């Protein structure tokens, strides 16, 4: 029986993780659940899965949750605050930690799980984009097992040799696939006039507004290049991106003998979640089966860098000192929010990101306090650049 802690249990990844765990109740036990402010959903989850511990970022919400659980006869103990997330992540009673708290708020708890030698199911992008070197050092020092939950990185892991020591010598290139978003066929000169509603209208699925815009600019893929570099130890020049509008081939690995190994499946996050939970075994995820005859065709094309110039910024940041990727991530978050708020044109997102990376990307950051300081400076610089572009 493996005990699982889910940090971010009320988000989409957390909810999907619980769905998979329900299919295998005899193999896994939920030890702890953590959320931000959604106390009603966390209450329902605690009553259904009876974890020993729960935690909420908001102390008042945590107190209300504790009272509600006691009224229902639950013995789950509720903690609160950022320190509670770290406590759950490194608790000796848990075997694996789903790190699914969004943004910088999830970084410290993911690091704590790595340092404590847990199996870390990593769904928190910032852990590697903001603090890639520090995070991988923590994984090695703690003897942790790191399994990515992003569908693209999970696909790469599934397509690589089982022995990590063979990755560098056997592999010629890893290739991340991208849907291309809603503007894949639009002329580059038409992009500036695109609205937030158009950018968020993904052709394949419904996502949150921020990630939808990142898909439209392909900055999501730029950040995934950064993640892939740290996860698999591949130099940037051996990480490629290919547009694949059907989103069936989730990523692929090209070997020196000319073979290409890819992972295919219907787009469903429960598949990489199940792979991470049961690795190295395979268990049912609840996903539907892939019917290639029904899909009919699989298309691929190189990304148009005139349409998606942000993709190049990942490679530029990886060539700069540690901290540049944190700068790029921070600038992009500010620029995307400004676009969603109607303060920027669509193509101005790239202008802001490029400007901030050029001005702050050479700053070195080798520990968390320095990284957080650099993140704050990048956000302030991006906000100032947004104001200049609005004038």
The residues of the chain scoring below 50 in pLDDT are: none
Full DSSP string of 326-343:
HHHHHHHHHHHHHHHTTS
Q: What is the pLDDT of residue 67?
A: 96
Domains in the chain, ordered, with CATH?
Answer: 2-149 (3.40.50.720), 150-303 (no CATH), 320-391 (1.10.1740.10)
Which of helix, strand or coil describes residue 236? helix
Q: What is the pLDDT of residue 359?
A: 95
Tell me the H-state helices in the chain: 12-23, 39-49, 59-71, 82-89, 107-115, 126-129, 132-142, 151-159, 167-170, 196-199, 209-217, 219-232, 270-278, 292-295, 311-318, 324-340, 348-360, 368-390
Q: What is the pLDDT of residue 281?
A: 94
Contacts of 334 (CB under 8 A, 6+ apart): 352, 378, 379, 382, 383, 386
Q: For 258, left (φ over 0), alpha (ψ -120 to 50), or beta?
A: left
Q: What is the pLDDT of residue 222?
A: 96
Q: What is the pLDDT of residue 197?
A: 95
Contact present, 120 and 144 (Cβ < 8 Å): yes
For tokens 């070197």, name the residue. Answer: 133
Mean pLDDT, rounded, of the chain: 95
In this prediction the pTM is 0.94
Contact present, 114 and 138 (Cβ < 8 Å): yes
Cβ burial of 159 (10 Å; 0-12, 13-18, 19+) is buried
CA pair distance 181, 310, nearest whole angstrom: 14
Lookup: tokens for 314: 């990942």
Cβ burial of 192 (10 Å; 0-12, 13-18, 19+) is exposed
Q: Helix axis angle, 219-232 relative to 132-142, nearest 10°?
A: 30
Full DSSP string of 211-235:
HHHHHHHTHHHHHHHHHHHHHH---
Strand partners, 28: 2
Q: What is the tens place of the pLDDT at every residue in 242-265?
A: 999 999 999 999 999 999 999 999
What is the distance of C-alpha 116 from the center of its chain?
21
For tokens 């299919």, name the residue. Answer: 23
Full DSSP string of 265-283:
--S-THHHHHHHHHTTS--
């Amino acid at each position: 029986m493996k005990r699982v802690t889910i940090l971010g249990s009320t988000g989409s990844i957390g909810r999907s993780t619980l769905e998979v765990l329900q299919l295998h109740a005899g193999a896994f036990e939920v030890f702890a659940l953590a959320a931000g402010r959604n106390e009603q959903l966390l209450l329902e989850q605690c009553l259904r899965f009876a974890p020993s511990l729960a935690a909420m970022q908001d102390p008042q919400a945590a107190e209300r949750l504790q009272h509600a659980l006691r009224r229902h006869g639950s013995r789950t103990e509720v903690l609160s605050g950022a320190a509670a997330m770290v406590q759950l992540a490194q608790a000796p009673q848990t075997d694996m930690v789903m790190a699914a708290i969004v943004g910088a708020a999830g970084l410290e708890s993911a690091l704590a799980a790595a340092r404590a030698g847990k199996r870390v199911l990593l769904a928190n992008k910032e852990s590697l984009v903001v603090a890639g070197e520090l995070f991988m050092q923590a994984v090695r020092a703690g003897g942790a097992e790191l399994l990515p939950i992003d569908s693209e990185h999970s696909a790469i892991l599934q397509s690589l040799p089982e022995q990590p020591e063979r990755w560098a010598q056997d592999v010629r290139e890893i290739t991340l696939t991208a849907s291309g978003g809603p503007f894949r066929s639009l002329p580059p000169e038409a992009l500036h006039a695109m609205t937030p509603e158009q950018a968020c209208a993904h052709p394949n699925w419904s996502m949150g507004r921020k990630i939808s815009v990142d898909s439209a600019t392909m900055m999501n893929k730029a950040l995934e290049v950064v993640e892939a570099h740290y996860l698999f130890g591949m130099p940037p020049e051996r990480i490629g991106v290919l547009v694949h509008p059907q989103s069936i081939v989730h990523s692929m690995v090209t070997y020196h003998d000319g073979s290409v190994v890819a992972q295919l499946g219907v787009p469903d996050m429960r598949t990489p979640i199940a792979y991470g939970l049961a690795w190295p075994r395979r268990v049912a995820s609840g996903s539907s089966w892939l019917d290639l005859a029904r899909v009919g065709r699989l298309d691929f094309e190189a990304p148009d860098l005139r349409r998606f110039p942000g993709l190049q910024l990942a490679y530029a940041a990886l060539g700069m000192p540690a901290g540049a990727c944190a700068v790029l991530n921070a600038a992009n978050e500010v620029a995307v929010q400004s676009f969603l708020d109607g303060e920027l044109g669509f193509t101005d997102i790239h202008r802001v990101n490029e400007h901030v990376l050029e001005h702050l990307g050479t700053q070195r950051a080798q520990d968390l306090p320095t990284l957080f300081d650099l993140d704050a400076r990048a956000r302030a610089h991006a906000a100032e650049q947004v104001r200049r572009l609005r004038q």
